[in-house]
Amino acid sequence: MEDNAAQLPLFREADEPDIASGFSVRESARARRLSVKVYPRGRVEVVVPRRTRPSDVRAFVEAHRDWICNARAAFAAEHPPEAFALPTSVRLPAIERSYCVRYERDSGGDTVRYRVSGNTVILSGRTRDEDRCVAALKRWIASLARKEYLPRLRALSAETANPFRKLHVRGQKTCWGSRSSTGTISLNYCLMFLSPAHLRYVMIHELCHARHMNHSRRFWRLVGRFEPGYRRLDRDLNHGWKCIPAWLGTY
């Protein structure tokens, strides 16, 4: 649910959590006004133009407090909160693979490390610390995503004749992918939890921005040449958060 804001799939990410006030702030070079978005699991994000004063952000949130509360209540009624639990298995449909997760007995220290043995991810170190365990699992997923994404992206780049310079893999909270003016494509590791078709579509979408850094008719015609079902796939992504496990804390 969104108030006074356009869809935000391709903005440059710059999330700065503001724990005290209960929302995160994202500065966008494209934003011309402040906007607020409430995500299905209750996260609140305020998108602001560059150099917006913190006092203006707080005033904006206060002015929209009732709307935010109503939006969060509506989502809570439709999607009851999930109790947090570290995973014992992780299924990654995009690459058609599943893993077991094993936690070794807490051996102290300040970190949690991961290693992979076959289809088992083993966490060791300070494993009683749930936040550190989640951070380790995110590092593993991001590393695996890069290994899986890069050859696919290179193949699609050759197929579509749309080049790119670099690939970044991150856990963006508001977009599945983006492309910079310098040719760097950033892909969300959460795409690993979607279908292979959705992963392929996002890659094609970002590659096509090599020719059109916009969402013009020419851009969509180009996307349609390589993915005729792009309209359905693009709509699906609006609800893709449902496939992302709650323990990741992303949506």
Question: What is the CATH number for 226?
Answer: 3.30.2010.10
The mean-pLDDT minimum among 36-40, 63-67, 147-151, 211-215 falls in 36-40
Q: Please state whether beta strands 112-117 and 35-38 pair in parallel, antiparallel, or not at all (unpaired).
A: unpaired
Same domain assignment for residues 161 and 208: yes
**Are 115 and 211 in the same domain?**
yes
Structural domain harbouring 10: 2-78
Query: With contact defined as beta carbons under 8 Å apart, do 25 and 192 qualify?
Result: no
Whether 172 and 196 map to the same domain: the answer is yes
User: Looking at the structure, do residues 99 and 222 belong to the same domain, yes or no?
Assistant: yes
Reply yes or no on whether the pLDDT at 13 is more than 50.
no
Beta bridge partners, 98, equal: 91
Does residue 113 sit in helix, strand or coil?
strand
* Whether residue 44 is found in the same domain as residue 133: no
The predicted pLDDT at position 242 comes to 84
- Among 78, 108, 134, the domain-final residue is 78
Total number of domains in the chain: 2
In this structure, the answer to whether residues 47 and 109 fall within a common structural domain is no
Where does a domain end: 28, 59, 78? 78
Q: Domain check: are 143 and 244 in the same one?
A: yes
pLDDT band at 228 (very low <50, low <70, confident <90, very high): very high
Pick the more confident residue, 44 or 137.
137
pLDDT tens string 29-80: 778 888 887 776 667 888 889 888 888 888 988 888 888 888 778 766 766 6
Query: For the residues 102-119, what does the mean pLDDT come to?
Result: 94
The answer to whether position 72 is within a domain reads yes
Tell me, yes or no, whether 55 lies in a domain. Answer: yes
Q: 4 pLDDT band (50/70/90 cuts)?
A: very low
Does 176 reside within a domain?
A: yes
In a domain, 191, yes or no: yes
Q: If you average pLDDT over every residue of the chain, what do you get?
A: 86
Tell me the pLDDT band of 174, cut-offs 50, 70 and 90.
Answer: confident
Residue 233 lies in a domain: yes
Choose one of 53, 78, 103: the last residue of a domain: 78
Does residue 73 fall inside a structural domain?
yes
Q: Residue 79's pLDDT is what?
A: 65
Please say whether the beta carbons of 201 and 220 come within 8 A: no
Q: Strands 23-28 and 44-49, how do they pair?
A: parallel
More confident call, 54 vs 195: 195
Is residue 120 domain-shared with residue 224, that is, in the same domain? yes
Whole-angstrom Cα distance, residue 64 to residue 189?
Answer: 32
pLDDT beyond 80 at 193: yes
Give domain status of residue 228, yes or no.
Answer: yes
pLDDT for the residue numbered 217:
95
Would you say residue 19 has pLDDT above 70? no
Between these two residues, 110 and 140, which has the higher pLDDT value? Answer: 140
Residues in CB range of 185: below 8 A, 6 or more apart: 153, 164, 166, 167, 168, 177, 178, 179, 203, 206, 207
Shared domain for 49 and 102, answered yes or no, is no
Q: Per the domain annotation, does 83 fall within a domain? A: no
Calculate mean pLDDT across residues 105-123: 94
Assess whether 213 and 128 both reside in one domain: yes
For the entire predicted model, the pTM comes to: 0.76
Are 21 and 109 found together in one domain?
A: no
